[in-house]
Amino acid sequence: MNRQRLSALLPATISASLLGLLVLLAGCAPMEAVRTQAQPVSAAALDTGKAIRAARADAEWPTEHWWEALHDSQLNRLVGNALEQQPTLKIAQARVRQAEALAGITRAATLPRVDASASADRERYSANSTVPPPLAGNYAWKASAAVTASYDLDLWGRNRLALSAALDEVQIASAEAQLARLTLASSIVRNYVQLSLQYTLHDSAQQSLAQRQRLLDISRQRHQAGLASELDVRSMETTLAAGRRELEQIEESMALLRNQLAALSGKGPGDGDTIARPVLALATGHEGALPPQLPAELLGHRPDIVAQRWRIEAASARIGVAQAAFYPNINLSAYAGVQSLGFSHLLDGHSVMAGVTPAISLPLFEAGRLRSQLQEQGALYDGAVEQYNASIVQALTEVANALVRINSVHEQQALASQAVNVAKRQQQLAEQAYRAGLSDAQTAISAQLTVLNEQQQQAVVASKQLENYTLLMTALGGGIKLELP
């Protein structure tokens, strides 16, 4: 073998030997296997409970605009404005864009990098240094221009796994943004239902206050006629003051609910003053019914579960990143350009410079840092899995609770209607007795107050029906199915 061929093979032989030595050393690195402890639970393996098992499985999943089933155009406008203008939603959307930008930064590490540079400086060269005449002792320009390129071979997939984790973070941010939308819409609907109830209670309180005033007038007349004591008059005055206090409390609640609805819609309190009386009407048909294959399909409809599932994927990828840190990192870089003293020869062929710089690095002694980082990622993975499991349990619990409330409200509605009918019958008998002279007006008016109280309870139960519909739609995920890994 001639000398030239030997000199050409020596660098390659040395590089191959060095690479083999580094790989061997990597195999000796004190990396322990990751021992994760948590296992994702299967929703189908959980006992869903009798409330879910007893529900009819003939309903559709909620639509994206599930609140429109309440048939109130003002509510539709409030939710629409909120989903467009609420600052908290814009914060969630900004987090999605931030996650996308971070994924772009991580992706750059998987691709070659090319840089260009140019410089020129004027310098007086020492007459007693290594620079020969005529530059020695004189000023001269030194110019250079170069292009450099580098590429991480990523033999162990560290950069690719880091990119995978970053892309998972984008999915997490997207799911959390959808969760924010669902939470916002649900909050608006529930506050709107409460505002509707307060209007009904306000009407009832006004009627009750009028009846109390009539009772007070009658008591004063009877007292003047010597048929009632002053204690009777004072007692009725107390009930009248209590009625006025109740009316004021209801008006306070209405004002606060309007302000809250305006804030949720991304508006100022002044916009709350323009909110008119709600007109809600929930179509009957599927109360207490669930979509088929609920446990399995619920995983993709609930944004909180989807976010937790992507967290597991991201945590798994980061374990791979931590494992790859134990192996050699090989980076290739090259440069080419021109350099000369003075500008006249800058583009001369003899001014060309070029080179290749392979770099290999391997951690040999990190005092347990890499091993601890790997253990940390394993613990984070276990935490993500358990949080995912907790989300599934919580989701099924919320669905079951909504069904229990819906079934209970059906019974409460029947009982409330029965109580109203009994109170109305009592009122009829009291009025008949009063007209026949068998009882006084106080008895008749008290019977009317009883009817008003029972009607208030009936309105509360009707409001619960609307609120339970909102709770069930929220528990089912609000109508948008997201991507699962």
Same domain, 103 and 149: no
- Domain with 144 in it: 113-153+328-361
For residues 241 and 248, give the distance between their C-alpha atoms in angstroms, rounded to a whole number: 11
Residue 63 covered by a domain? yes
Neighbours of 174 (CB within 10 A): 22
CATH number at residue 470: 1.20.1600.10
| Tens digit of each residue's pLDDT (9 = 90 or more) over 64-88 | 999 999 999 999 999 999 999 899 9
Residue 1 covered by a domain? no
Render 22-89 in DSSP notation, one character per residue. HHHHHHHS-PPPP-----PPPGGGS---HHHHHSBS-PPPPPTTGGGGG--HHHHHHHHHHHHH-HHH
| Tens digit of each residue's pLDDT (9 = 90 or more) over 87-105 | 999 999 999 999 999 999 9
Q: Is the pLDDT of residue 403 over 80?
A: yes
pTM of the model: 0.84
Neighbours of 83 (CB within 10 A): 17
- What mean pLDDT value characterizes the chain? 86
For residues 235 and 91, give the distance between their C-alpha atoms in angstroms, rounded to a whole number: 56
Same domain, 200 and 346: no
Same domain, 304 and 431: yes
Q: Is the peptide bond before 134 cis (omega within 30 degrees of 0)?
A: yes
Among 126-130, 148-152, 211-215, 252-256, the range of highest mean pLDDT: 252-256
From 313, 344, 361, give the residue that closes a domain.
361
Q: Residue 203: what are its φ and ψ, rounded to 5°?
A: -60, -45
Same domain, 63 and 171: yes
From 305, 337, 361, give the residue that closes a domain.
361
* pLDDT at site 9: 37
Same domain, 36 and 148: no
Q: Which residue has the higher pLDDT, 28 or 80?
A: 80
Q: Is the pLDDT of residue 278 over 90?
A: yes
| Tens digit of each residue's pLDDT (9 = 90 or more) over 215-243 | 778 878 877 887 767 777 787 777 788 88
**Total domains in the fold of the chain:** 2
Same domain, 160 and 72: yes
